[in-house]
Amino acid sequence: MRSLEKENKLLMNVLKSRISKARETLDKYGDAWLVLSIGTGDSNIDYLLGVHAHGLMGALLFHDELHVFVGRLERSFIQHLEEEGLITETHVFYGYSEFESKLRSVLRECSGKRILANFSSLELYPHASSLSYSVASRLKHLAESYEIDIRPSGRFVYELRQKKTPEELAVLEKSVSIAITMLDSIIGDSVIRPGITEREIAARMYGELYKYGDPAFEIIVASGPNTANPHHITSRRKIRNNDVVYIDFGIKYLTMCSDITRFFVVGSASKEIQDAYEAVFEAQNRSIEALRVGIPFSEPDKVAREVFKEMGYDPEKHFIHSLGHALGVDVHDVGPPFSQRVKKKMIPENVAYTVEPALYFEGKFGIRLEDDVIIAKKTVKRLAKSPEEPICL
Q: Which of 69, 150, 141, 135 has the alpha carbon at shortest distance from 102? A: 69
- The torsion angles phi and psi of 384, rounded to 5 degrees, stand at -155, 160
How much is the pLDDT for 26? 96
For the chain, the residue count is 393
How many C-beta neighbours within 10 Å does residue 362 have?
12
Rounded Cα–Cα distance for residues 330 and 129 (Å): 14
How much is the pLDDT for 53? 81
Q: Is 253 helix (H, G, I), strand (E, B) or coil?
A: strand
Rounded Cα–Cα distance for residues 376 and 317 (Å): 33
How much is the pLDDT for 4? 83
Cβ neighbours of residue 316 closer than 8 Å, sequence gap 6 or more:
none
pLDDT in tens, the chain (393 residues): 458 888 999 999 999 999 999 999 999 999 999 999 987 678 999 999 999 888 899 999 999 999 999 999 999 999 989 999 999 999 999 999 999 999 999 999 999 999 999 999 999 999 999 998 888 999 999 999 999 999 999 999 999 999 999 999 999 999 999 999 999 999 999 999 999 999 999 999 999 999 999 999 999 999 999 999 999 999 999 999 999 999 999 999 999 999 999 999 999 999 999 999 999 999 999 999 999 999 999 999 999 999 999 999 999 999 999 999 999 999 999 999 999 999 889 999 999 999 999 999 999 999 999 999 999 999 999 999 999 999 999
Cβ neighbours of residue 362 closer than 8 Å, sequence gap 6 or more:
228
Q: Is 14 helix (H, G, I), strand (E, B) or coil?
A: helix
Rounded Cα–Cα distance for residues 252 and 71 (Å): 24
Q: Which of 123, 116, 164 has the alpha carbon at shortest distance from 333? A: 164
Q: Which of 246, 251, 211 has the alpha carbon at shortest distance from 230? A: 246
Amino acid found at 297: F
Q: Which of 215, 220, 211 has the alpha carbon at shortest distance from 181? A: 211
* C-beta separation of 62 from 107 below 8 A: no
* C-beta separation of 355 from 301 below 8 A: no
**Whole-number Cα distances in Å, 227 to 1, 220, 232, 352:** 44, 10, 7, 26
DSSP annotation of 389 reads: S
How much is the pLDDT for 1? 46
Query: What is the DSSP code string of 318-346?
Result: H--S-SB-B-SSSSS-SS--B-TT--S-B
